[in-house]
Amino acid sequence: MYDCGATQNDALQQSIDWYVNNYEKIDLLVLSHLDNDHVQGLDQLLTHISVDTVLIPYIDQQVNLADIFRIEAETGTNLNHIEACLEPDVWFGKRGVGRVIRARGNSDDDMRAPEEPPRDAGERDELGFSLKVDKNKLKQVRKQKSAQAELSDLAPGSCLGISHPSSSIDWVLIPYVSSEPSVKLADFQREVRAILFGSKTTKRRIRSEDLATSLKDRRQRMRLKRAYGRFKPSRARSTHNHVSMSLYSGPMSPFNPATPKFQTFLLTHWPHSNLDACPVGWLATGDAPFRNEAYRTKWMHYYHRYLQNISTLVLSHHGSRLDFHRDLVCATSAYNFVANASDPPQYRGHASDEIHDYVESHGANFIHVSQYPESEFLEIIQKL
């Protein structure tokens, strides 16, 4: 499951009910970023269904602090969100999750392609499926405790393989995490430590309860806001999530129509369609800033082996034109471009008409999935 957050509780509950009725648990929950609406939706999801592992992007604490203050300034203090950002192992552990993995981002000068998953058996579930991760790429940060999940960091360039003993499934999950912003926030973090602990040089870890306590105190809250005001990024950056994670889910091998391995069935509000052998991969882009040429070039280089393997691409930032580039249509094999956004939109330009027209002018489908059940888009992929 990828990015299940929502602000419409009724619509979210309908989706949760569907999962509860069809599945006993979720093996892997992937979150592109921990924005407030995602945390709100997660709280609701985790009270109804168990999750084994959560994959999130690694975010340095000083960037996390800046994001918390940005959201606090916009919507007010949310203690739930503070704990999820600063202590994800505690927040998810309280809700029954066993393991949290943080995928680290590639540095600006690291242009390595994703590595293949290991060929060993991996950790097998009761149905026999296993999630394979190279143990050399996974570093444990904190062990699992009572009401606290195990916390591990996944090295850049890593991927996760999926296998089953009864058949060869050529399927991988490949996260891509953008490098953190070049804006230096270390001075901001030192000021926060001085306000919370009385010393800029202390190495004491900032915990969610420390920050929450200070935000409840009017004088402390004003000092923290003034500190953020001196160091906050530009308006263009402050209105966008700092770090976001994309995810490729699909075959490792290049698509070859002469030797089909999979067949796709599309079940939507349109008539049922049965497609011949075709690419079946799926690529979701979180809040990737594709208008940024440097980011787009690196992202496309990282995924270049898989861009012709995909049938469906989930558009960045709810289908906003501010985070779209035409290369996403021209350089991929995708024939479904999905925009997840409320209808009418909560923010102007989400599920952009401009993107809709461009996608359909190239013979592909633009699919707007909203809070209404009739907008549901379901793909079933069957191994041949």
Alpha-carbon distance 378 to 40, whole Å?
24
d(CA 315, CA 328): 9
Number of Cα atoms under 13 Å in the Cβ half of residue 188: 23
More confident residue, 4 or 138: 138
Q: Cα–chain-centroid distance for residue 364? A: 24
Measure the CA angle with vertex 289, ends 89 and 86; round to 5°. 20
| CA–CA separation, 291 and 301 (whole Å) | 16
Distance CA 198, CA 212 (A): 16
Inter-residue contact 131 to 122 (CB < 8 Å) = yes
DSSP class of 273 = E
At 55-103, the pLDDT tens digits run 999 987 777 777 777 666 666 667 777 888 888 999 999 999 999 999 9
pLDDT of residue 42: 85
Q: What is the pLDDT of residue 30?
A: 93
Is the predicted pLDDT of residue 196 greater than 90, yes or no?
Answer: no
Q: What local confidence, expressed as pLDDT, does residue 169 receive?
A: 64
Going along 165-285, which residue ranges are E strands?
A: 167-177, 245-251, 262-268, 273-274, 281-284
Q: Mind giving me the DSSP string for 106-146?
A: PPTT--PPPPPPP-S--EE-TTS-EEE--GGGEEEEE--BT
pLDDT tens profile 152-173 = 999 988 988 887 666 666 788 9
Q: What is the pTM of this model?
A: 0.84
Tokens matching residue 116: 């293949």
pLDDT recorded at residue 140: 93
Both tokens of residue 235? 């308006």
Q: Check residue 97 and give its pLDDT.
A: 94
pLDDT, mean over the chain = 79
**Residue among 48, 12, 45, 33 at smallest CA distance from 81:** 33
Q: Does the pLDDT of residue 125 top 70, yes or no?
A: no
User: For the chain, give me the number of helices (H) and strands (E)?
Assistant: 12, 17
pLDDT at 120 over 80: no
Most confident of 68-72, 119-123, 190-194: 190-194
Cβ-based burial of 76 (10 A; exposed 0-12, middle 13-18, buried ≥19) = exposed
Q: Mean pLDDT check: name the lowest of 99-103, 297-301, 314-318, 345-349.
A: 345-349
- Quick one: which of 134, 56, 150 has its CA closest to 102? 56
The pLDDT of 108-131, averaged and rounded, is 64
- Pairing status of strand 336-340 against strand 310-314: parallel
Q: What is the mean pLDDT of residues 239-258?
A: 76
**Amino acid at residue number 324:** F
Question: CA 356, CA 81: separation in Å to the nearest integer?
Answer: 33
Of 154, 152, 32, 44, residue with least CA distance to 99: 152
Q: Which residues pair with 338 in a beta bridge?
A: 314, 367
- Quote the longest CA-to-CA distance of the chain: 69
Query: Kind and range of the H or E element at 179?
Result: none
The average pLDDT across 306-315 equals 91
The span from the CA of 193 to the CA of 21, in Å, is: 47
290-311 burial string, b = 16+ CB within 10 Å, else e?
beeeebbebbbebbeebbebbb
